[in-house]
Amino acid sequence: SNIHIPVVDILNLTSPSTSQQELRKLHSALSSWGFFQVINHGMTSLFLDKVREVSKQFFQLPKEEKLKCAREPNGLEGYGNDVKFSEKQRLDWTDRVYLKVHPEHQRNFNAWPQKPNDFRSTVLQYSENLRQLNEVILRAMAKSLNLEEDCFLKECGDRDSMFIRFNYYPPCPIPDHVLGLKPHADGSSITFLLQDKEVEGLQVLKDNQWFKVPIIPDALVINVGDQIEIMSNGIFQSPVHRVVINAERERLTVAMFCIPDSEKEIKPVEKLVNESRPILYRPVKDYVGIYFQYYQQGKRPIEASKI
Ligand code: AKG
């Protein structure tokens, strides 16, 4: 079934008189679904189409061309498929490109597609837009919890990173037997997703049931990841989601993961801990490192931090 995840209007969050109603909507979306969609985020429909277009053009290149930016065997960035870590594992039906876009000095352009020609400039522009939007969202989230506006933001700094993942799901002859992406929750603080304009596939788990995340063409889908679940002492829920695939149609999405500095300790905000809401998570460092270990063992990484 479809879900009615709230659609939040950024203009109502950024005006001097931030609308209380919009903040309540945000709070309720994040505490029940962990997902919401945003409109009026400042990027035009034309620009979002451009992001989708350069991504799709890359995946349509001949294999030899794509392999020029192939992920190294033990590497993280570049072009490749699902990472294989066990013989028993059922691989996700997907082609991907994974790149670190922030901080700027850590960009490794050797792993970036050289074609199409405007791939790099488009992705850099998109990343800069999302870096700014991330700040707006972090402020709004803090306000919706009655915290100081910069409460989450001051935990972020120049050493925080942003990774972009282009997901291309080709049509699959046996879509009922394979997934585009296995169930998981994100290890990020926040994830932004630009969905395919026409083909659905993203589903979110709630009360043991899978719900489709509907397409709103010019909106961005946002979900919180485990690190915000920890900082919010569990008030905001990092949702488990998966991707189903399609027998006839290809699907393309672009995910951006915002990740706090791995040297910093992540822990519940003090003001969100009290007698009626005891502390639920212990402090963690380098959550993404823990994340991969747990994920490969088939466990939910957030369990590593639960008290
Ligand atoms: C991811 O890249 O982690 C996603 O969840 C992608 C979701 C999608 O392709 O709809």
ipTM for the complex? 0.96
- The residue to mutate among 51, 243, 249, 252, having the most atoms of ligand 1 within 8 angstroms of its beta carbon, is 243
| pLDDT digits 0-9 by tens, 122-167 | 999 999 999 999 999 999 999 999 999 999 988 766 778 999 999 9
Torsion on CA atoms 231, 237, 240, 246, rounded to nearest 10: -120
User: What's the rounded Cα separation, in Å, for the pair 227 and 229?
Assistant: 5
What's the pLDDT at 2?
A: 63
Q: What pLDDT, on the 0 to 100 scale, is given for residue 18? A: 72
Please tell me the distance from the alpha carbon of residue 250 to that of residue 232, in angstroms, as a whole number: 37
pTM of the complete model: 0.96
Pairwise CA distance, residues 62 & 46, whole Å: 26
Residue 163: predicted pLDDT = 98
Supply the residue whose CA is at minimum distance from atom 4 of ligand 1.
255
Site to probe by mutation for ligand 1, drawn from 162, 179, 193 as the one with most ligand atoms within 8 Å of Cβ, is: 193
Ligand 1 centre to CA of 202 (Å) is 7
* Tokens describing residue 259: 């990740």
Peptide bond before residue 183 is cis, with ω within 30 degrees of 0: no
Query: In the sheet where 95-102 sits, what is the strand order?
Result: 7-9, 35-39, 220-224, 190-194, 251-259, 161-169, 95-102, 78-81
Report yes or no: 234 and 281 within 8 Å, Cβ to Cβ: yes
Atom of ligand 1 nearest to the CA of 195: 10
Ligand 1 centroid vs 168 CA: distance in angstroms?
Answer: 10
The token duo for 120 is 């790099």
Mean pLDDT of 232-244: 97
Distance 210 CA to ligand 1 centre (A): 15
CA 176/CA 111 separation, integer angstroms: 33
The pLDDT confidence band at residue 3, using thresholds 50, 70 and 90, is low
Distance CA 218, CA 195 (A): 9
Cβ atoms within 10 Å of 208's Cβ, excluding its own: 5
Ligand 1 atom with the smallest distance to the CA of 167 is 9
Q: 167, 176, 197: which is closest to 246 by C-alpha?
A: 176
Distance in angstroms (rounded) separating the CA atoms of residues 180 and 93: 5
Strand pairing partners for 241? 184, 204
What are the start-end ranges of the H helices in the chain?
10-14, 20-32, 45-59, 63-66, 119-144, 226-231, 287-296
- Cα-based distances in Å from 303 to 71, 210, 229, 283: 30, 22, 12, 12
Residues 40-75 pLDDT 10s: 999 999 999 999 999 999 999 999 999 999 999 888
CA angle, residues 166, 168, 173, in degrees to nearest 5: 160
Report residues whose beta carbon is within 6 angstroms of any ligand 1 atom: 165, 167, 181, 193, 201-202, 241, 243, 253, 255
More confident residue, 264 or 79: 79
190-194 and 181-184 strand pairing: unpaired
Distance CA 277, CA 234 (A): 9
CA of 15 to the centre of ligand 1 (A): 31
* Residue 35, pLDDT score: 95
